[in-house]
Amino acid sequence: MSPHRVVALVMPPQSTFELACAAEVFGIRRPGLPGRYDFDVCTEDPGAVPTLAGYDMLVSQGLLAVQTANTVVIPGWHRREQPASPAVIDAVRQARRRGARIVAICSGAFLLAEAGLLDHRRATTHWRMAAELAARFPDVQVEPDTLYIDLGDIATSAGTAAGIDLCLHLARTDHGAAHAAQIARHMVMPPHREGGQLQYAAPALTGHPPESLAAILDWAIERLHEPLTIDDLAAQAKISPRTLARRFADQLGIAPGRWLLQQRIMAARTFLEETDLPVETIATRVGLSSAANLRRRFHAMVHTTPAAYRRSFGRHTGGTRPSV
């Protein structure tokens, strides 16, 4: 397979963190992990590009690099109150017309909106800029609370860690859950977060710090093969189901049942990638009781069937899956 070419288009002053989100996932070669991506950085005027961190970075490639990208990443746009350069807008539009995937991290969504790529489509950005995005571009369906939105050809994310979440999600979409999990493990990142989770947790109603869910999450992940219920989780945590639901909402931005289903589907993806077990057996091992239930739940979350997923990412697919 030819490596998937990812090009980050940077604009002064560039956020170093948002660029690093893409570089860490797509640009770093790690021991034991096959290289699935080629990563480059470009800018409209090659040379020294100022950053928000107070130093300049040297970018040698111009906008021609965008023309050969399979994925174009806009890692923030911090002069969003000014009109974008016509050359930059044209480069992004041309990339989308020829079929490149366009990805915006945080304020990068403003550039996509100005280019008209988000008209009548769902998008997100950092929560403190969401109202501004909606007001300036009323044709964009802004979802202010979500971590990231992947529409297939275009993806947008909130800021900071949500940019990493989106990039890992794209690696998972491109090369399977095992490959993305290996990248996350090298980055010492926690298990992935679905895009529909909240950008930030609600503030505590009392002055007491909330008790961490870490122990109950670990307990549940070790027992996915069991028919766990919300009542089981609450009993293990020694709290009521209502309190459990409130803690999940506050700390994870998701309901306990949804989180549990996500873990079951993630486990199923790993079995499909790394084993030849029948779907019925996998369903039992991840606590979804039957092949029919697994197929239904899997399609609703991954938007494909277990069989099609295994054909794409299974260990006998002719090298499309990374070695473990």
Domain boundaries, the chain: 4-186, 203-324
298/266 Cα distance (integer angstroms): 9
245/322 Cα distance (integer angstroms): 37
Q: Which helix (H) or strand (E) holds 181?
A: helix 177-186
Q: What is the mean pLDDT of residues 9-28?
A: 96
pLDDT at residue number 318 = 44
pLDDT tens sequence across 200-233: 544 444 444 457 788 899 899 999 999 899 999 9
More confidently predicted of 158 and 188: 158
Confidence of residue 194 (pLDDT cuts 50, 70, 90): low
77/99 Cα distance (integer angstroms): 22
12/49 Cα distance (integer angstroms): 6
Does residue 3 have a cis bond before it (omega within 30 degrees)?
no
Cα-based distances in Å from 220 to 180, 231, 261, 319: 22, 12, 11, 33
Closest by CA position to 184, among listed 204, 167, 159, 199: 167
Encoding tokens for residue 99?
């079929």
Instruction: Report domain 4-186's class.
Output: alpha beta
Same fold, 4-186 and 203-324: no
Encoding tokens for residue 295?
């197929």
Cα-based distances in Å from 35 to 24, 52, 268: 12, 30, 25
Encoding tokens for residue 155?
């993806």
Q: Yes or no: say if 20 and 57 are a contact pair by the CB < 8 Å rule.
A: no
Q: Write the CB contacts of 161 (distance below 8 Å, at least 6 apart in sequence).
A: none
Q: Yes or no: say if 65 and 88 are a contact pair by the CB < 8 Å rule.
A: no
38/145 Cα distance (integer angstroms): 32
Fold annotation for 203-324: Arc Repressor Mutant, subunit A (1.10.10)
Confidence of residue 188 (pLDDT cuts 50, 70, 90): confident
Would you give the DSSP letter of residue 31? T
Confidence of residue 33 (pLDDT cuts 50, 70, 90): confident
Q: Yes or no: say if 72 and 100 are a contact pair by the CB < 8 Å rule.
A: yes
121/144 Cα distance (integer angstroms): 14
Share of the chain above pLDDT 70, in %: 90
Q: Could you give phi then psi for residue 240, rounded to 5 degrees? A: -80, 155
